[in-house]
Chains A and B, each alone.
Chain A
């Protein structure tokens, strides 16, 4: 057993190094368009991972992740407007969105199952409407320019690549730590976790705060690299994106959300050139297939994440 695990780890590391090497030299081989696209895919991967920590590990199907994405984006915007540097601004985005995660999490973790889905959905609609309504703050649907000062596409790309790697390492350490084990226990069986002495609500809020902070980081990076933020960042369809990417890529894994986000970003870009409107139909079909046909196979981990919600077969 030990040998099998270490062989898996070695294989995994080998693959990661290959991918990394590929990503490292990417800007020398592809055009500007693709550099921008990969940058976006990586940011969205961080964003999807932030949802996966809440759903795939914490067991909560939240449709409110866009709130933290939007908060992160506007934190960066105002932080730049206030003249702060990039590093501080990004940290601030994580921090502010994390606080939002803490607050939102505290309000919603008592709610369970399908109602949890609803309440987070309505929450993100509410935030979107508020962002839309308060034009003085957000610029409404037209948005606002983030005064970043231009740094080259390649610089942005390497910045995002570095941050994505750090996030992957952070998440891997987290989910394999004792704290990560508690998250998985709560996902699998909330009741027993409580009986074993874990304060379930507090851990769920913690997962929400961490997920919120990471989503804020993604939103901040997105606003920084595109130089723009709008009320649309809060829109719940952006939450749904994270859900779809994570489930298609593999919930309850660290790399899965990146795979899902990257794949679908490329599919979207490729299709929009050919036949733009077909993309949501394809995503819908994939989602149905993922949920109904492969709940055990590729997406077996999703099943474990889901068992928590009293949806047993009895």
Chain B
């Protein structure tokens, strides 16, 4: 279980000459949870989108489970077991909650399979949206949309989940539910059917970051300048300065992309 799940080498992205991400190196072992923090525009979302294949890298490479996946089409990376959950709720607004999850879970194009149905039920149960299965997604409150996002992101039984600010803009209740879920899915003893081999998430909240992940990376101006255990990272000068400035600073401004 100690093999490398994800390896990122010299990953960079330039927009019109301006570097959004600059030669980032890191790796993720199987079973590891990594938190990424940094100011707005530091390249957190860019990093996740590059790994997921949503945007093309200007330089560097990404290896998933030992295979190169750099700049593969986004659907192929997804099918290899990397699931990306975008920063803002991104569901299918005119479809019901149940259809949203079914669409994410289905494994056949022509027949509705019984095992797909049971996966959908299990997922709705897991995120606590069973009561709302028939609701149109656009009518869900913000927090529930986010939970729906999590359910969809897990539906393909991915090995690695990339969650972009999973709790941003979400009320305390839903936020705790989401974190609880992510923790459960990524902890080796209690993860069950939809367990993850690895999790990378970006986050603004200090408490969450310094408590939950095995490792934390700190991005600034497109560079990964500090990396290590939360214990170690929080004693670094830059990080302390940042945390002092950004306590509970939760504007949802987008990163560059």
Contacts and interface: CB of A to CB of B under 8 A. Distances in A.
- Are A and B in direct contact (Cβ within 8 Å)? yes
A188 interface: yes
A188 B75 CA distance: 17
A178 B111 contact: yes
A301 interface: yes
A195 B74 contact: yes
Given A194-B74, A199-B73, A185 B109 contact: no
Interface in A170-202: 177-179, 181-182, 184-185, 187-189, 191-200
Contact of B92 (A177, A188, A303): A188
A217 B246 CA distance: 63
Contact of B110 (A1, A177, A196, A200): A177
A178 B74 CA distance: 21
A302 B1 CA distance: 50
Contacts of A197: 75, 78-79, 156
Interface in A43-86: none
Given A188-B92, A188-B93, A179 B75 contact: no
Which of B78, B92, B110 has the largest number of chain A CB atoms within 10 A? Answer: B92
Contacts of B74: 194-195
A10 interface: no
B227 interface: no
Contact of A184 (B78, B92, B110): B92
A189 B102 contact: no
A192 B90 contact: yes
A184 B94 contact: yes
Given A195-B52, A195-B84, A307-B94, A181 B103 contact: yes
Contacts of B75: 194-200
A185 B95 contact: yes
A105 interface: no
A98 interface: no
B156 A196 contact: yes
Interface in B56-107: 73-76, 78-79, 83-84, 86, 90-95, 99, 102-104, 106
A126 B156 CA distance: 43
A188 B73 CA distance: 20
A191 B90 contact: yes
A178 B109 contact: yes
A260 interface: no
A80 to B, nearest CB: 34
A216 interface: no
Contact of B103 (A1, A185, A194): A185
B164 to A, nearest CB: 11
Given A181-B102, A181-B106, A191-B86, A196 B94 contact: no
B77 to A, nearest CB: 9
A170 to B, nearest CB: 13
Contacts of B118: none
A192 to B, nearest CB: 5
A181 B52 contact: no
Given A189-B92, A301-B94, A195 B86 contact: yes
Contacts of A1: 133-134
A138 B92 CA distance: 44
Given A192-B152, A196-B155, A184 B95 contact: yes
A185 B73 contact: no
Nearest to B96: A1
Contact of B94 (A177, A199, A304): A304
B108 interface: yes
A185 B111 CA distance: 17
Contacts of A303: 94
B54 interface: yes
B112 interface: yes
Contacts of B90: 189, 191-192, 195
A307 B92 CA distance: 10
Contacts of A189: 90-93
Contacts of B111: 177-178
Contacts of B92: 184-185, 188-189, 192-193
Nearest to A304: B94
Contacts of B102: 178, 181
Nearest to B133: A1
Nearest to B98: A1
Contact of A181 (B76, B84, B99, B133): B99
B91 A192 contact: yes
B78 A195 contact: yes
B110 A179 contact: yes
A188 B152 CA distance: 15
A34 to B, nearest CB: 38
Nearest to A197: B78
A179 B52 contact: no
11 contacts: A181-B99, A181-B106, A188-B94, A191-B86, A192-B90, A192-B152, A194-B73, A195-B52, A304-B94, A305-B94, A307-B94
Given A197-B79, A307-B93, 9 more contacts: A177-B109, A177-B110, A178-B111, A182-B103, A184-B95, A193-B103, A196-B78, A196-B155, A303-B94
